[in-house]
Amino acid sequence: MKKIILIGFFLMVIALIYNYYPEQKLPANSNVDLLVVQKSQYKMMAYADGKLLKTYKVSFGDAPIGHKEFEGDEKTPEGIYFINAKNDKSGYHKNLGISYPNDKDSAYAKAIGKPVGGDVKIHALKNGIGFINKFQRWINWTNGCIAVTNNEVDELYASVKIGTKIEIKP
């Protein structure tokens, strides 16, 4: 029994270290001009003038494989979009809006008789549960958005301007 308690304690310490160990920060005063998301790798890269500044570990919607086709499919869109909004009064700490749907997305959803949806964001954790921090990366939990930690969305919010291109790849 003592071994089980000791192992449990050891695992809890490791988990806490993982969750709160500092990671590389986006360089101060960065002007991110491109975001590239690799869904299959759960990564989002931030670039300025063609130079990679930082790679983020991200999570997605409950059904991350494939392009978003309609509202409620829990998928993250794929393709070229733009950051079209910034919200520091979000229910999810802060967020950056993604310009989904485009004309092609809207036409497809209409053709299959489904609502296209919208409100796809890069966002952090729901207000009040920021302590989850990096543990949010362990599962896909959004409704089709791209999730980062509260600290990460803070630095993106400061460094990404409205109109910044975001390329989301499978």
Q: Which residues are catalytic?
A: 123, 145
Residue type, position 5, single letter: I
CA 136 to CA 40: how far, in whole Å? 17
**Spatial contact of 114 and 71, defined as CB atoms under 8 Å apart:** yes
In angstroms, the first-to-last Cα distance of the chain is: 46
Beta strands of the chain (E only): which ranges?
A: 32-38, 43-48, 51-57, 79-87, 95-98, 121-123, 146-147, 160-169
CA 45 to CA 32: how far, in whole Å? 10
Beta strands of 12-136 (E only): which ranges?
A: 32-38, 43-48, 51-57, 79-87, 95-98, 121-123
